Amino acid sequence: MMSTILERFREWRDRRAVFRDMRREKRRAAPYESQEQARLISQIQNAAFREDRDAALVAWNALYALAPDIAITSTEAIRAMMWLKHFQQVDAALIEAQERFPRQAELARLYAESAQHQGQWEVACERWAEVRRLYPAVGGGYTFGAGALCVLGHFEEAEKLLEYWTKIDPTDIVGASEYAKVAEQLGKLPAALDRWRRMQELIHDVTAWVGEAKILLKLDRREEAVAVLERARWKFEASPLPSMELCLIVQAEGNHEETLRQWHKFRDHFPASPAGYIFAAWILRDLQRHDEAEAILRLYIDRDLSEPEPAIEYALLAHGRKEWEEAARRWKNVREKFPERREAYQWGADALDKLGEPDKASELRTLAP
């Protein structure tokens, strides 16, 4: 009997030693596993920035094989995959994640967002309803759920959702602004005006003033709209939105020279905003003053600022004049700096066709993202 007990003790002791060694090795390897997981997530995100669907999928499969729990719960990786339209992998991961890790609101929210990104608005409404049922304190269930309902034309239902949510959290910027917008969509302009003004009382955000001004313009109360925007311009000095709306009011009145003067002032105050260059260029183009339009767009392009629209408009000017060699050169410049802009490949290929280079045009079209 004693020998049997001693034998069992030795077996237990040996197993303990083996398990202890295994745990020690696991702890030693854990940092390396964590680093590899982080590296793969970073690869997925970088592939999303490059819009490289294949590279993202390879990294995703590797992450899932290495650490499935991390893959199905990493919001960074899932959002990147969603951006690249890998919806089959995203939905499968989120279904598994919600089954294995229940009561995590972010997973349910991502699942609803996936349906929206796919344009499955009825499904999105159902999923946002589930978010509201399980997580009644999550604002996205109401605000994004209302947005999905509006796409389907269910404005009254959306308004009820937003009314409920703005009572719970009246300082939520998205909820307050969407509540005002849905009133406008229903044609309830006085209610929209009241909601924008209520938002101004509770939230320090420029969109409330701009929203009020737009409703006043729809009510043919131009002077009041201008006064609101002037106050907003003083109150939110760093925001270009009030000044841009003031320029657009002048532009709508058809005085081209005054409009160009206003956009010039706008560019002086907000040199990084592409609106001041694009709107002025459009006016000059319509007036057949192409050289001036190009000169204004060059002001933005030469400063190497980050928005692609001025460079696209610059290429379109040459394209519209059928200066095919120059157009092809400008579209090439757009592609080099903004490789994700599909129109730079399509219009660039058209220019190459006009130059009698169909093979180059065909190859360029195959490279379009």
The DSSP H or E segment spanning 265 is: helix 256-269
Cα–Cα distance, 131 to 78 (Å, whole number): 18
Tokens 């460079």 sit on residue: 311
Distance from the Cα of residue 263 to its chain's centroid: 27
Q: Which of 274, 276, 218, 223 is nearest to 248 (CA)?
A: 276
Query: What secondary structure letter does DSSP report for 221?
Result: -
Query: What pLDDT score does 256 carry?
Result: 93
- pLDDT tens track for 301-329: 988 778 999 999 999 999 999 999 999 99
Kindly give the parts of the chain with pLDDT less than 70: 1-33
Query: What secondary structure letter does DSSP report for 240?
Result: S
Query: What pLDDT score does 205 carry?
Result: 95
Q: Which of 254, 334, 263, 271 is nearest to 293 (CA)?
A: 263
Cα–Cα distance, 36 to 44 (Å, whole number): 12
Question: Cβ contacts of residue 69 below 8 Å, gap of 6+?
Answer: 100
Residue 159's CB is within 10 A of a number of other CB atoms, namely 21
Question: Cβ contacts of residue 267 below 8 Å, gap of 6+?
Answer: 273, 276, 277, 280, 299
Tokens 């992450």 sit on residue: 63
Q: Concatenate the DSSP letters of all residues of 54-109 into one string.
A: HHHHHHHHHHHHH-HHHHHH-HHHHHHHHHTT-HHHHHHHHHHHHHHS-S-HHHHH
Query: What pLDDT score does 368 carry?
Result: 85
Cβ pair 71, 64 in contact under 8 A: yes
Query: What pLDDT score does 21 carry?
Result: 46
Specify the pTM.
Answer: 0.79
Query: What pLDDT score does 2 carry?
Result: 44
Question: Cβ contacts of residue 217 below 8 Å, gap of 6+?
Answer: 225, 249
- pLDDT tens track for 202-260: 999 999 999 999 999 999 999 999 999 999 999 999 999 999 999 999 999 999 999 99
CA triple 62-68-71, angle to 5 deg: 75
CA distances from 153 to 3, 42, 130, 177, 324 (A): 82, 39, 20, 18, 44
Q: Which of 58, 59, 48, 135 is nearest to 98 (CA)?
A: 135
Q: Residue 255 is which amino acid?
A: N
